Amino acid sequence: MVAEAGLLALIIALCLSLLLSVFPLVGSYTGNIRLMNQARSLSWGLFAFVGFSFLCLVWAFVTDDFSVDYVARHSNSLLPVQYKVSATWGGHEGSLLMWVLILVGWMAMVAVKSDRLPPELSARVLSVMGMVTVGFLLFTLLTSNPFNRILPFPPENGADLNPLLQDFGLIVHPPMLYMGYVGFAVAFAFAIAALLGGQLDTAWARWARPWTTVAWVFLTLGISLGSWWAYYELGWGGWWFWDPVENASLMPWLVGTALMHSLAVTEKRGLFKSWTLLLAIFTFSLSLLGTFLVRSGVLTSVHAFANDPERGVFILFYLMIVVGASLTLFALRAPEVRSRISFSMASRETLLLVNNILLTASAATVLLGTLFPLLLESLDMGMISVGPPYFNFVFVPMAMLLAFALGFGVLLNWKNGSVKWLISQTRWILLVSIIGGLGFSLFYGDAFAKNFLIGEVLAMALVLWIVLTMVRDILNKTRNTRAKAGLVDALKRLKPAYYGMHLAHLGLAVTIVGVAITSGYSSQRDLRMAPGDRVTLGEYQFRFDGVSLQHGPNYTSDYGSVTVYENGRQIALLHPEKRIYAAQQMPMTEASIDPGLTRDIYVALGEPLGDDGSWALRLHIKPFVRWIWLGSLFMALGGVVAISDRRYRMKVRQKVNTLRPFGNEGVASA
């Protein structure tokens, strides 16, 4: 019965979302305040019904209701209870339901905060989000109903959750990622509402900014959680594979990052308006494209869900409608939001433009590499794959240019600046950075002769460059107050938004350190080891102590033991495992890691070789690999600090009373 209640709730939610996409929008044009106010209660209703439906599905999992097809395919009575809950989003149907839940969750949040917005704007934003919800609810109900029953003969037990997904990483990775993906629907809805209203000003940008930043923070965390999960769970020791589905999450992140920066220009200077709108549309479209790529199974990927062409076609049409409609609207309305403000060449605006160009261009290269195989195949020009070398070759130089431009952008002021001043500010920093990069290679990387890596030198120089320009900027910004009130007081007077920016940029530097050193100076050996064998890798000695049989709740495990020594002293005892999960008879490698701030020691079991108890072993030493994820934490934290800025709360209220930029006048003149 619970499953039927869940389905019923979904159907009611669909009706509510249909109402939401029509009435408040009509109200915003006719000036009917009662219709506009419906948006808020409808959003709440949607959230309640979808939330209830989701809880019904969780209930079906927790109570082992294997008469529900989806539960039978993704759960098992032996599964530990926390994984039963997370199995709810372990397959296609459930993760789609979670997607919808998060979408209406964002809507409910917008509804809560909407009293700060002009009624027309909030009605339109919520209506647009309602339309997006209609599409996804239809998709869920028509092609991927999670509540389908297997009757009259339900199985006695379920097929179990894919062992790869029985992990803490999976409990948190998809919700985070979806929060990010779907969060950009808010920015998208704001953009469409602005286009519908035909006007866009700095107040609009100030409203749209925090939502975009929050979505970006979640996406940042989601992506890095996914990378971390792949690192410890897949057993290959890699942290990024340029897998199509990883790319699918990276593209909205890149364009979303561009959007955040472009929104800053729109808010502060009233510039880049139509570009900002376009980026908001692109960011969400790329999120949808990501969904299409994952769900349709058109691309080969570790994330491949069960392939179902019908689903792919549905999302493809949906994508075409969303992109087509919003771009048409953009083409019709964008000329009305044009701005006529000039700025000099050496200004922050120019550098943010460079930032936007580089970010969108890098997103385009990733898109090309991801879709090129599909394109050739559909033209019947053979089957190809585009490997990591392509992505590294095009993406890394652009990322480096971006990091270089970042330093200038941070130092420059809005509107006016001179190239001469910029040179006087940066020439010493540049010199120190280059020397620092070379020095790093000299001291860390085995000197120039054997192991000179130009990419690593450049990367470390750029890290110094980012940090030093940041310090210089803080000194510049505090110059006047420092003399009067002292450094500490001067630092206190800087705004949270300013610190948020630097924190996020520092995060980028930290991530670059991690990527550069891990890529350049990792060591790895795959080898055959018999119990008692010793091997040296880098500064560490490994002793393989054999494998014993162990039993887990729903698996049996070959439980290996490897002792690690440094200079003859034992520093770690690692237990890599090879598990066989009972229900699916599926083998799983569980790597064992000794983590550290400057290096990870990573050991994974390959396969048993021969009768003497010897195994294939994979040993890695990964210097600074944690910095990759540490940097993304800094970035996310920077975003959080930035939106804690009081101007997003205080000034908005004042503006609402004095400014009504989205009234009917805008529509009438259109």
Partner 1 sequence: MNAVRKQRLILVLLLLAGVGVAVALMLFALRENINHYFSPAQMAAGEAPVGQRMRGGGLVVPGSVERDTESLKVSFRITDGAGEVTVHYEGILPDLFVEGSGVVALGTLGDDGVFAATEVLAKHDENYMPPEVQKAIDEAHPGYTKPTVQTTAQSELRSLQDGS
27 or 576: CB nearest partner 1: 576
User: DSSP string of 584-618?
Assistant: TTEEEEE-EEE--SSEEEEEEEEEEETTTTEEEEE
Query: Does 173 contact partner 1 by CB under 8 A?
Result: no
| Contact pick of 348, 599, 618, 655 for partner 1 (by CB under 8 A) | 618
Under rule CB under 8 A, which residues in 119-158 are in contact with partner 1?
Answer: 150, 155-158
3-state secondary structure of 176: helix
Query: Does 270 contact partner 1 by CB under 8 A?
Result: no
The residue written with tokens 């000329």 in the block is: 335
Under rule CB under 8 A, which residues in 523-582 are in contact with partner 1?
Answer: 526-528
3-state secondary structure of 236: coil
| Contact pick of 32, 584, 644, 664 for partner 1 (by CB under 8 A) | 584
| Contact pick of 11, 33, 306, 483 for partner 1 (by CB under 8 A) | 306
16 or 604: CB nearest partner 1: 604
Query: Does 343 contact partner 1 by CB under 8 A?
Result: yes
3-state secondary structure of 317: helix
Query: Does 384 contact partner 1 by CB under 8 A?
Result: yes
Least Å from the CB of residue 450 to partner 1: 24
Stretch of 78-86, 110-118, 587-595, 655-663 contacting partner 1, by CB under 8 A: 587-595
- Where do runs of H (alpha helix) occur along 63-167? 69-74, 81-87, 92-113, 119-143
- Where do runs of H (alpha helix) occur along 198-272? 202-233, 244-269
- Can you tell me the distance from the alpha carbon of 7 to that of 55, in angstroms, rounded to the nearest whole number? 11
3-state secondary structure of 334: helix
Query: Does 338 contact partner 1 by CB under 8 A?
Result: no
Stretch of 136-144, 212-220, 391-399, 413-421 contacting partner 1, by CB under 8 A: 391-399
- Whether cis (ω within 30° of 0) applies to the bond prior to 146 is no
- Can you tell me the distance from the alpha carbon of 237 to that of 214, in angstroms, rounded to the nearest whole number? 30
CA atoms within 13 A of residue 650's CA, in its CB half-sphere:
4
| Contact pick of 387, 532, 553, 595 for partner 1 (by CB under 8 A) | 387
State the pairing for strand pair 586-590/569-574.
unpaired
* The Cα angle at residue 210 between residues 350 and 31, in degrees rounded to 5: 105
Query: Does 342 contact partner 1 by CB under 8 A?
Result: yes
Size of residue set near partner 1 by CB under 8 A: 58
34 or 612: CB nearest partner 1: 612
Under rule CB under 8 A, which residues in 594-613 are in contact with partner 1?
Answer: 604, 606-607, 609-610
| Contact pick of 50, 504, 588, 603 for partner 1 (by CB under 8 A) | 588
- In which region does residue 286 sit, left (phi positive, over 0), alpha (psi from -120 to 50) or beta (all else)? alpha
Least Å from the CB of residue 578 to partner 1: 8
Instruction: Please report, for residues 443, 547, 592, 623, the alpha-carbon distance to residue 537 in angstroms, rounded to integers and kept in the order given.
Output: 20, 21, 16, 13
Interface residues with partner 1 (CB under 8 A)? Answer: 69, 72-73, 150, 155-159, 162, 164, 235, 300, 302, 304, 306, 340, 342-343, 345, 353-354, 357-358, 361, 364-365, 368-369, 372, 382-387, 389-390, 393-394, 397-398, 526-528, 583-584, 586-589, 604, 606-607, 609-610, 616, 618
